[in-house]
Amino acid sequence: MAVDTHDPRIGTERPVAGLFQSLNNFLATFVAIVHTRLELITTELQEEVRQVGGILLWAFVAAFAAMMGLFLAALAVIFIFWDTHRVAASLAMIGLFLVVAVVAGLILRHKLSTKPPLLDDTLAELAKDRDQLKARL
């Protein structure tokens, strides 16, 4: 059963029907915006997970190789000075490892502090949407 939204006395649509149509249009637009933003969030999360996974894998490989190299170099230095200065060689290697650890920690802290926030693009788009909706109201 169709509802008659036309008032023959005025020749225009009734205000209630116009209100429902506006509300329907608003809801459709709102759902489309939310859908688009959710797709953007999903895409950004997938990219972030893929990127972090790759970074962690290569970071592990690099750290393992570097530690093995440093360990073997430290052993070589200690073995070279075994008869004369084995304690000094051991302390020098410990100092070297500590310096490498401190430098690596400082680099890691810098990288974490300069990394853009997670979902930065999505948050920027949502802020634009909010501003546009405020401007219309």
Domain boundaries, the chain: 8-136
Please report the pLDDT score of residue 135 as a whole number: 74
Please report the pLDDT score of residue 122 as a whole number: 73
Whole-model pTM? Answer: 0.46
pLDDT at 8 over 70: no
34-38, 52-56, 86-90, 130-134: which has the minimum mean pLDDT?
Answer: 130-134
Please report the pLDDT score of residue 83 as a whole number: 87
The token pair at 40 is: 């953007």
Give 129's contacts (C-beta < 8 A, 6+ positions apart): 33, 37
Which is higher by pLDDT, 61 or 124? 61
Residue-wise pLDDT tens digits, 12-71: 556 667 777 888 788 788 878 888 888 888 888 888 888 888 888 888 888 888 888 888
Contact status, residue 89 vs residue 79, Cβ threshold 8 Å? no
Question: Which amino acid is present at 101?
Answer: A
Contact status, residue 119 vs residue 45, Cβ threshold 8 Å? yes
